[in-house]
Amino acid sequence: MRKVRLDKARTGVVVARAILSLDGVVLLSEGAVLTREYKEKLQNYGITEIYIEDHFSEGITVPELIRDEVITEVKSQVKKLMTSPSVKVSVDVKKVGEIVERLIANILDSDKIVASLCDVRSIDEYTFSHSVNVSVISIVTGIGAGFKEDTLKDLGIGALLHDLGKVKVDDAILRKPGSLTSIEYDEVKRHTLYGYEILKNSGNISQDACDIALSHHERLDGSGYPRKLRNNDILTFARIVAIADVYDALTTDKVYRRKMMPHDVLDYMLSLGGKHFDKNLLDTFVRHIAYYPVGTAVILNSGEKGLVSEYNPYFPNRPVVRVVIDEDGHVLKKFREVDLSKKLEYRVVAIWDI
């Protein structure tokens, strides 16, 4: 199994994972054969990637931190919460708490706590997917930092609701494909204040969770907003969510740009450690994120091409690679596995589309 861009997927391939809308509609079943009509249907729905089963990826299992059906159900619940008419005034804190408790329980139950988010998302439902993914990444980072379960819950709630204030920003501005005017950008930045007000008005929610909504765009060097806070003046929770927010945003397709690959985003964020992001928290985060998610098509320095078949948590940028094409471009009759943590002469130099 591997994930491919929908526009690159060839008709006739087998779909490896069912694709569901957040309204519970099955857009394409697992095991379905991809047709031109199916591709158009998914593209019209804003789907940009799918999982397929083919000769190259046979036997490769993409690990799930949280089962796909659980993530889809949680995102559906978040969609209902965020589209409720009352959400511009207050939010159902009890329901949010139940959602976060479920996420924490599923994460703690996982064999390997690695936030290799592998869900298929619709661009049109970005807001709800993003909220859940940021919460998951924040919880994973909190676990890595040694937080206790009650602390994780406050972190997870604040992370899930970090962008809640956007419900009060004009949707035309949020979905604008081109550059924002200075006036429009100022309005977008107010979502931090709007979110804080909504959460304070909701009652029975921790001050830390409220502060996440207010401060997740603050940066250590004072270049963030809305208060231009610096260093330890920024709540630890907000510093974690700032990392999760940027990572998920940059690794997701938007209406105005294509996503970046995880390893490129991680390298970019690490370059900003100590400037925009808390370096210690960033290091914790990186230890629990997959540089090259399982199924990623990679090119080695030898010129050979293959698929990442296994993630290495101790050496995130040196996974196990299934070599499927030799340096001359010939498909191998028998694939071979190369563990880059043991074969130091090999390294990943690029990503490719099969």
pLDDT at 238: 98
Q: pLDDT-derived band of residue 124, with 50, 70 and 90 as boundaries?
A: low
- Residue 46: is it exposed, middle or buried by C-beta count within 10 angstroms (0-12/13-18/19+)? middle
**96-to-75, 85, 90, 256 alpha-carbon distances in Å:** 11, 16, 12, 30
Q: pLDDT-derived band of residue 175, with 50, 70 and 90 as boundaries?
A: confident
DSSP code string of 157-172: HHHHTTTGGGGGS-HH
Asked if the bond preceding 226 is cis, omega within 30° of 0, the reply is yes
Domain tally for the chain?
3
Residues 135 and 264 in one domain: yes
Average pLDDT for 192-217: 96
pLDDT at 78: 93
Is residue 118 pLDDT above 60, yes or no? no
Residues 327 and 194 in one domain: no
pLDDT at 119: 61
Containing structural domain, residue 33? 2-53
Residues 131 and 192 in one domain: yes
Q: Is residue 278 part of a domain?
A: yes
pLDDT at 109: 85
For position 199, which CATH number holds? 1.10.3210.10
Is residue 236 pLDDT above 80, yes or no? yes
Residues 305 and 267 in one domain: no
- Left (φ > 0), alpha (ψ -120 to 50) or beta: where does 134 sit? alpha
Q: In what order do the strands lie in the sheet with 320-325?
A: 331-339, 320-325, 305-310, 297-300, 348-351
Q: What is the pLDDT of residues 64-116, one digit of tens each?
A: 777 878 888 899 999 999 999 999 999 999 999 999 999 999 998 876 666 66
Alpha helices (runs of H) in the chain, residue ranges in sequence order: 36-44, 68-82, 93-108, 126-144, 149-160, 171-174, 182-189, 191-202, 207-215, 236-250, 262-271, 279-287
pLDDT at 345: 96
Residues 143 and 174 in one domain: yes
Q: What is the pLDDT of residues 237-274, one digit of tens each?
A: 999 999 999 999 999 877 667 788 899 999 999 999 99
pLDDT at 114: 63
Residues 182 and 47 in one domain: no
Is residue 33 pLDDT above 70, yes or no? yes
Residues 48 and 185 in one domain: no
DSSP code string of 71-108: HHHHHHHHHHHHTSGGGGT---HHHHHHHHHHHHHHHH
* Rounded Cα–Cα distance for residues 231 and 77 (Å): 35
Is residue 120 pLDDT above 90, yes or no? no
Residues 34 and 88 in one domain: no
Mean confidence (pLDDT) of the chain: 91
Residues 167 and 240 in one domain: yes
More confident residue, 250 or 177: 250
CA end-to-end distance (rounded Å), the chain: 13
What DSSP character marks residue 260?
Answer: P
Is residue 226 pLDDT above 60, yes or no? yes
Average pLDDT for 112-123: 63
Q: pLDDT-derived band of residue 317, with 50, 70 and 90 as boundaries?
A: confident
pLDDT at 25: 83
Is residue 160 pLDDT above 80, yes or no? yes
pLDDT at 121: 64
- pLDDT > 90: what percent of the chain? 70
pLDDT at 115: 60
Q: Is residue 63 part of a domain?
A: no
pLDDT at 127: 85
Residues 229 and 278 in one domain: yes
